[in-house]
Amino acid sequence: MDGMGLPLDDAVAGLRRAIGGAVFSRIAGDDGQAERRRLRAVPDGAERWFEPGSPITVVHGDAAMLIGGLSALLLQSLHPLAMAGVDQHSDFRSDPWGRLARTSRFLAVTTYGTAGDARRQVAAVRSVHRRVTGNAPDGRPYAASDPHLLTWVHVCEVTSFLQAHARYGASPLDATAADEYVAQTGRVATALGAEHVPSTVAELHARLDAYRPELAGTPAARAAARYLVLDPPLPVAARPAYVPIAAAAVALLPRWARWPLRLPWLPVTEATLGRLAGESVTRVIRWALPAAPGVAG
């Protein structure tokens, strides 16, 4: 038994490294490992925006973020002005993994880095936002620096991240911690220029509902949904692993968001097979990836 155990342990460890390396490189980019080491080296007592172990570090360090992030992108696409900015300025089709890595870096640095790191990241993003302007297909002007649009993007992200963590996270938050999470993420959104940022879960839901009269399923939004859900930028061999992530992301969307994006609502399937698949894929990713800085694991 002992003679067989070591080779098996080595094989499992090798599989874990292979899966974890492949997933992490997609999420964090080529310099992701170096950035992780740097964030892990932040000394105790350094000034941070968020303390290790606080709700934002727990949520943003869990594998459920993959599902929440995809769901947030789908929900954000329903605002015609926000979608026009993405469609006309973003490289999400030509370089989707680069865009994901930049978003991942922003979340990691503002969540786990020093206060100085966070301020520099925010300043860099605000500089990019100032250059993103144009007109939507209906003629209305938009600007990525518009506080109203920034709040829409923030509300979609926090709603989706929180729902994904509640359903698939390893350590779901209680009601008090969920409110704290919303308040913590609001600090980043306010620094980026958002306005009327919610600070509790109740305020978050109310803010999302307040945007509904502005939303619509534009051709660009439906094309983005098809791309993200049905035609992801992955090798054919990797697509079976993506299917449960995409299905779980769609299942998190509010019912009213489905038809404008031409996405189905299958309540029985989503509650049974869909949820089981989502739980399984997050467990595998959680097993394969090392814990985020400041998160036990």
In this structure, is residue 294 part of a structural domain? no
Task: Report pLDDT digits (tens) over 66-85.
Answer: 889 889 999 999 999 999 99
pLDDT, residue 37, reads 63
Task: Report pLDDT digits (tens) over 202-226.
Answer: 999 999 999 999 999 999 999 989 9
For the record, the structure tokens of 141 come out as: 């002007």
Residue 16 has pLDDT above 50, yes or no: no
In this structure, is residue 189 part of a structural domain? yes
Residue 284 pLDDT class (50, 70, 90 cuts): low
120 phi/psi in degrees, rounded to 5:
-65, -40
The mean of the pLDDT values for the chain is 81
The range of the structural domain enclosing residue 221 comes to 2-288
Task: Report pLDDT digits (tens) over 236-252.
Answer: 666 677 788 888 889 89
142 phi/psi in degrees, rounded to 5:
-140, 160
Residue 92 pLDDT class (50, 70, 90 cuts): low
Residue 36 has pLDDT above 50, yes or no: yes
Residue 41 pLDDT class (50, 70, 90 cuts): low
In this structure, is residue 296 part of a structural domain? no
In this structure, is residue 273 part of a structural domain? yes
Task: Report pLDDT digits (tens) over 172-203.
Answer: 999 999 999 999 999 999 999 999 999 999 99
Task: Report pLDDT digits (tens) over 22-32.
Answer: 444 444 445 65
For the record, the structure tokens of 120 come out as: 């520099």
Question: 242: Cβ–Cβ under 8 A, 6 or more apart, which residues?
Answer: 232, 234
In this structure, is residue 103 part of a structural domain? yes
In this structure, is residue 142 part of a structural domain? yes
As for how many domains the chain has, the answer is: 1
pLDDT, residue 95, reads 54
In this structure, is residue 234 part of a structural domain? yes
Of the ranges 3-12, 28-37, 48-57, which is most confident? 48-57
pLDDT, residue 208, reads 98
Q: Which of 10-19, 39-48, 105-114, 203-212 has the lowest average pLDDT? A: 10-19
Strands, E, within the chain: which ranges? 133-135, 141-143
In this structure, is residue 100 part of a structural domain? yes
The whole-angstrom separation of Cα 289 and Cα 281 is: 12
End-to-end CA separation in angstroms for the chain: 29
pLDDT (mean) for 44-66: 90
- Give the position of tokens 């594998």: 63
pLDDT, residue 63, reads 84
